[in-house]
Chains A and B, each alone.
Chain A
Amino acid sequence: MERQLKNFGQLGNKRIVIAVTALNAIDSPGPGVAVIRAIRECPDFDVRIIGLCYESLEPGLYMHDIVDKTYQVPYPSSGTDTLMGRLMHIHEIEHIDLIIPNFDAELFNFIKLKDKLSDAGIRTYLPDLVQFEARDKIKLYEFGNKHGLTIPKDIIIHQVKDLSEAAEKLGYPMVVKGKFYDAIVANTLEQAQKAFFKIQAKWGLPIIVQEFINGTEINVAALGDGEGNAISVIPMRKLYITDKGKAWAGITLDDTSFIELARKFVKVTKWRGGCELEIMQTADGKSYIMEVNPRFPAWIYLTAAAGQNQPAAMVKMALGEKVETFTDYEVGKIFIRYAWDLITDIREFQKISGTGEL
């Protein structure tokens, strides 16, 4: 390992091969394209980007100035052995130095494979399973209580009849949430039951019933070094939200309380890698952590635009370089997402669909 680290001592001398997932730059985008854009913008190293896609219509794989070559990989449900087999095949051809997975659903597999990948010479920069599971929605309240972080009260239920008891404890309105995704605000028992069945059908059990917090939603992108230090923290407020609750525009903020909160999270978890804190700030200034996403958010390029290029910093850290903690960033930096019709032709589509490569 020491010998390999030394080889990366001067990043500028070597073309680094980085594999990146989540190239679905759609209306609810994965972070992959933004991560690559930030990495490519860093003048300190030269990169070859290998896209790892799940589906043949992920826009990123047709963006040839963003992704040099793409390989299809098996869905997370196929398990770690199938994924490892495919990654080793790609590694034989591409000699991957680093993999940056960006989907929540695939992280478990990549974390499990961390050591095997490392043995094969592929680095990752991920939290360990304990850190990863501590911020799981199901355990977040308990985790917050343990570490003095304010998290909305929640009750985990497995049956619809448990809703009334949860409502007695939490009051209305309350939020009915899925294990992985979706949240519906319910004002009555009837609405809560409807939400329960809808979410159960989509995401299964258990269902999380959470105290409703009214306030302003702030998102924070952070990068932890695995030793309790946050190398970079950038708070952002959504200025425009899609019907799915995703940011279509956002602005960097000057508020040290959010930065301190993210630093505290990184410190108590010893978080390694990128993460996003979803915070709700109430009118009286109290900040609740609503969720912690265990990877960079789709708006991560804003961190580079504001002066703290988190993906590039993570690449350096993953390759063994010491990165100093960022202190400044530009406040009032705005991103506005836009839709663009990328044109390709049937040959490219056929190639990725037929051979799993493009």
Chain B
Amino acid sequence: MRLKKNIATSDEGFIFNPGTGDSFSTNEIGTEIISLLKENKPQEIIIETICAKYDVDQNQFEKDLDDYLSQLKDYTILE
């Protein structure tokens, strides 16, 4: 799962897809995930990073991350 090269993101959680003209807002955790994706971190590292930083059940987070990534894919933000 990699973020498409031309996707523009901001620290405030704004995502812009210049290929389609679509823009999105994501919350704080979403922004952190996007920034890890930008660094080409694999899914396991994203899970490890977020679970270490926040008080979250790993199974629950894995499920939520799957949902989030599949949304990003639907919106053609991921390659």
Contact = CB atoms under 8 A, between A and B. Distances in A.
Interface string B1-40: 0000010100000001011110000000000000000000
Nearest to A281: B20
User: Interface SS of chain B: helix, strand, loop or mixed?
Assistant: loop
A216 interface: yes
A332 interface: yes
Interface of A: 216, 237, 239, 250-251, 253-255, 331-332
Lowest 7 A-B CB distances belong to which pairs? A237-B21, A254-B18, A251-B21, A331-B18, A255-B19, A253-B21, A254-B6
Contacts of A237: 20-21
Contacts of A253: 18-21
> Which range holds the interface residue count of chain B?
under 10
Given A237-B20, A332-B16, 8 more contacts: A216-B20, A253-B20, A254-B6, A255-B18, A255-B19, A255-B20, A332-B8, A332-B18
Contacts of A254: 6, 18-19
Interface in B14-72: 16, 18-21
Contacts of A250: 21
Interface of B: 6, 8, 16, 18-21
A255 B16 CA distance: 14
Nearest to A236: B21
Contacts of B20: 216, 237, 253, 255
Contacts of A332: 8, 16, 18
A255 B8 CA distance: 14
A237 B8 CA distance: 17
Contacts of B6: 254, 331
A162 B70 CA distance: 46
B19 to A, nearest CB: 5
A239 B18 CA distance: 13
Contacts of B19: 253-255
A183 to B, nearest CB: 22
A251 B22 CA distance: 9
